[in-house]
Amino acid sequence: MMIDGVLNLNKPHGITSRQALDRIRKLWNVKKAGHGGTLDPDATGVLPICLGKATKLFDQLQKGIKSYSATITLGIATDTFDASGQVLMTSPIEHISEDRIESVFKGFVGQIDQTVPMFSAVKYQGKPLYKIARQGKRIENLPSRLVTIKSIEITSINLPEVAFRVDCSKGTYVRSLVNDVGTELECGAILSQLVRTRSGIFRLEDAYDLDNLEERKITFNESVVPINVVIEALKQVV
């Protein structure tokens, strides 16, 4: 089947971005396809799927702002920076005030030099870091990249959990941001929930659930945004 366009997929919890992509390819028998911006298996939300000739728009789609809704847990650190990893330390948090938490979060707004997580798809000497990590090896000087945290808004504090929203540039690892917050607070922190609510021109409220697509409740004609519509939308992005 020839399908040229972009699907705004709401990636479900528990599968990789690649697995979500493969299920769409199988569903519609699409040979040429790719996804924009990897989401961890435990994360959900907006995952643009480029189909057919729309794969040529991949770089343009990646340039847009990414928005996330996240929850972190203070007082614990793991090797993956989230709940799936091995616990490295725990720490009391009773002494940490809400004002201190607010201040630390605000300190990360702007351009920052962010170290990528050891458990990530970023390549080191041609090999994904997560494969090196699974072999029990560690890299002394992990790669870093300049990213921009455009805004952070704490939405609730109910210790040990803190919920927040963040707008950031492409390439930002929210897990690394959370780990850095924990380091600054001197108590550790892990990412316990993550939802991508926006990826450039695509938003969560317009995304399609994978189950509904696979159950044929929604057709590809209803869900795939044509290339010309995507191009026009990209032109409107400042």
Candidates 77, 102, 90; CA nearest to 157 is 102
Per-residue pLDDT of the chain (238 residues; tens, 9 = 90+): 678 999 999 999 999 999 999 999 999 999 999 998 889 999 999 999 999 999 999 888 888 899 999 999 999 999 889 998 899 999 999 999 999 999 999 999 999 999 877 666 666 667 766 676 676 667 777 778 899 999 999 999 999 999 999 999 998 999 999 999 999 999 999 999 999 999 999 999 999 999 999 998 888 889 999 999 999 988 887 5
Q: Are 39 and 17 in contact (CB under 8 A)?
A: yes
Place of tokens 């041609």: 126
pLDDT at 56: 92
Tokens of 195: 């939802």
pLDDT of residue 133: 60
Instruction: Return residue ranges of the chain for CATH 3.30.2350.10.
Output: 5-63+200-235, 66-198
Q: Give the pLDDT of residue 125.
A: 67
Are the beta carbons of 149 and 157 closer than 8 angstroms? no
Residue 167 known to be catalytic: no
CATH 2.40.50.140 corresponds to the domain 5-63+200-235: no
Q: Which CATH number fits domain 66-198: 3.30.2350.10, 3.20.20.140, 2.40.160.100, 3.10.129.10?
A: 3.30.2350.10
Report pTM: 0.91
Judged on CB neighbours under 10 Å (0-12, 13-18, 19+), 141 is exposed
Q: Which of 4, 40, 113, 180 is catalytic?
A: 40
Q: How far is CA 144 from CA 169, 176, 190, in A?
A: 14, 11, 19
149: left (phi over 0), alpha (psi -120 to 50) or beta: beta
